[in-house]
Amino acid sequence: MSEKKKLSVLTNGILNENPVLRLVLGTCPTLAVTTMAANGIGMGLAATFVLLCSNIVISALRRIIPEQVRIPCYITVIAGFVSVVQMLVKAYVPALDQALGVYLPLIVVNCIILGRAEMFASKNTVLNSALDGIGMGIGFTLTLTIMGSIREILGAGTWLAGLDGLLPFLPEGFAIRVLPASVDPFTLMTSAPGGFFVFGVLMAGAAWLTAHKRPAQAEEGSV
Amino acid sequence: MVVKLASIFFTMILVDNYVLTKFLGICPFLGVSKKLDSAVGMSLAVTFVMVLATAVTWPVHTLILAPNGLAYLQTIVFILIIAILVQLLENVLKKYIPTLYRSLGVYLPLITTNCTILGVTILNLDEGYNFIESVVCAAGAGVGFLVAMVLFSGVRRRVEEAAPPKCFEGLPITLVSAAMVSLSFMGFGGIVEAIFG
């Protein structure tokens, strides 16, 4: 495989096959943790780590895992890495553990990870699977961050609040004030209906972007 | 006791509805809610596995994992238990109740990766519920899932006939209408405390 194709494996996950907006995988964490941009970043990074490691291991074992029991095998590998992430997050970024709550162990059933194992890692070389994991992870993290930013700015008037839990060198209580304090924030955005709404609008935006960029390919790409 | 159980049950359906307020099980919510009968079939299968999984994972955690300091294995053990249960259930149904298998069978493999199941088993332990409360909570979560699916399949039938802007066609407009359904469920906040509290 040429260098150029390798690059396309990496960038595939960011827009063309963005796991959340184009493949519509992993919608639960996307909606649940994006009340704040910092939570989105944390969730994205945790899922990226699991995705990268599980893609590498599953791709390395792809000739050994029997066809009939492949799903339980994949889930065991993924659950192992999720437990690793859970322990690391609990030990080093307890604030993130508090913020993500049950959604951290639920990375196990995030369909992006099982989906990539089934669709990509089980058929491709270790290096390509690793690149695919990174690309998909970046696409996931970017989408979560954008969604978190929109919901946080509209719903709370701040941006990147709570990032000091992720990056210890930031001062405690770090937050960028976007809307002036005199503007009443639209708190509905941080609650459940706002999540569905922002997700719907973002997905429409992605569909619009793709349709305008390549009118010919948009037809077959639509879900 | 009964009042507390009833309060847990109705809270799970109306106030803490897993799909509409906690965003668990969104994939089947969006994927299978197009037709009413498949929505009901999927929800019944989910409810059944949810109660069964809770009845197994609660004792496993409380009697085996926690006393031996193995609580960190929770995620792996629970997902394996759920995967095995789903597989067992599929085989049992196929053999003994073929009619039920024909109606629910197609949904069973999807259930392993349905986050409501793993979610309810973990959240029950986080809440510190005892065994009976956990099972009631799981049943409530299942019925809540059913209510959300049935309501939403009705909304969707109307939405399908509407003509949204081109880029909103399909899932985006579905999500926007899910926002409206979820908004209406916010109106139930506090109602259960008012009745049972």
pTM given for the model: 0.84
User: Residue B78 in 3-state DSSP?
Assistant: helix
Predicted pLDDT of residue B54: 94
Share of chain A above pLDDT 90, in %: 30
Span of A2-6, B24-28, B85-89 with lowest mean pLDDT: A2-6
For chain A, the average pLDDT equals 84
Instruction: Read off the pLDDT band of B197 (50, 70, 90).
Output: low
Q: Which amino acid belongs to residue A23?
A: L
Instruction: Report residue A181 as tokens.
Output: 């304090």
In chain A, residues with a C-beta closer than 8 Å to the C-beta of B167 are 204-205, 207-208, 211
**Percent of the residues in chain B that have a pLDDT greater than 70, as a whole number:** 98
CA–CA distances in Å: residue A109 to residues A45, B13, B115: 16, 23, 6
End-to-end CA distance of chain A: 29
pLDDT of residue A214: 61
CB contact under 8 A, B175 and A28: no
Could you report the per-residue pLDDT of A11-49, keeping only the tens digit for each?
A: 877 777 788 887 788 888 888 888 888 889 999 999 999
User: What is the Cα–Cα distance from B193 to B197, expressed in whole angstroms?
Assistant: 4
Cβ contacts of B112 on chain A, cutoff 8 Å? 71, 75, 109
The pLDDT value given to residue A221: 43
Residue B72 to residue A87, Cβ atoms within 8 A: yes
Residue type, B56: V
Asked whether B188 and B181 are in contact (CB, 8 A), the reply is no
Q: Decide if pLDDT at B38 tops 60.
A: yes
The mean per-residue pLDDT over the stretch A98-108 comes to 88
Q: State how far the alpha carbon of B83 is from the alpha carbons of A43, A205, B9, B108, in Å.
A: 24, 37, 25, 10
Domain ranges of chain A: 3-222
pLDDT at position A49:
94
Position A2 scores a pLDDT of 67
* A175 vs B54, higher pLDDT: B54
Measured torsion, CA atoms of residues B159, A221, B113, B51, in degrees rounded to the nearest 10:
10
pLDDT at res. A9: 79
Mean pLDDT calculated for residue range A83-97: 90
Average pLDDT over residues B58-67: 91
Provide the pLDDT for residue A222.
41
Which pLDDT value is given to residue A220? 44
Query: Quick one: pLDDT at residue A138?
Result: 92
CB pairs below 8 Å between A and B: how many? 126
Q: What is the mean pLDDT of residues A198-206?
A: 89
Does A223 score more than 70 pLDDT?
A: no
Q: Are A169 and B140 in contact (CB under 8 A)?
A: no
Q: What is the pLDDT of residue A35?
A: 87
Say what the ipTM of the complex is: 0.83
Q: Please provide the distance, in angstroms rounded to a whole number, between the alpha carbons at the two ends of chain B.
A: 12
What mean pLDDT is predicted for residues A53-68? 91
| Mutation site for B-interface testing, chosen from A69, A97, A189, A196 by largest number of B Cβ within 10 Å | A196
Is residue B31 within 8 A of residue B25, CB to CB? The reply is no
Structural domain spans, chain B: 11-187
Interface of B with A (CB under 8 A): 20-27, 30, 72-76, 79-80, 83, 112-115, 118-119, 122-123, 126, 165-176, 178-180, 182-183, 185-186
CA dist A196 and A139 (Å) reads 19
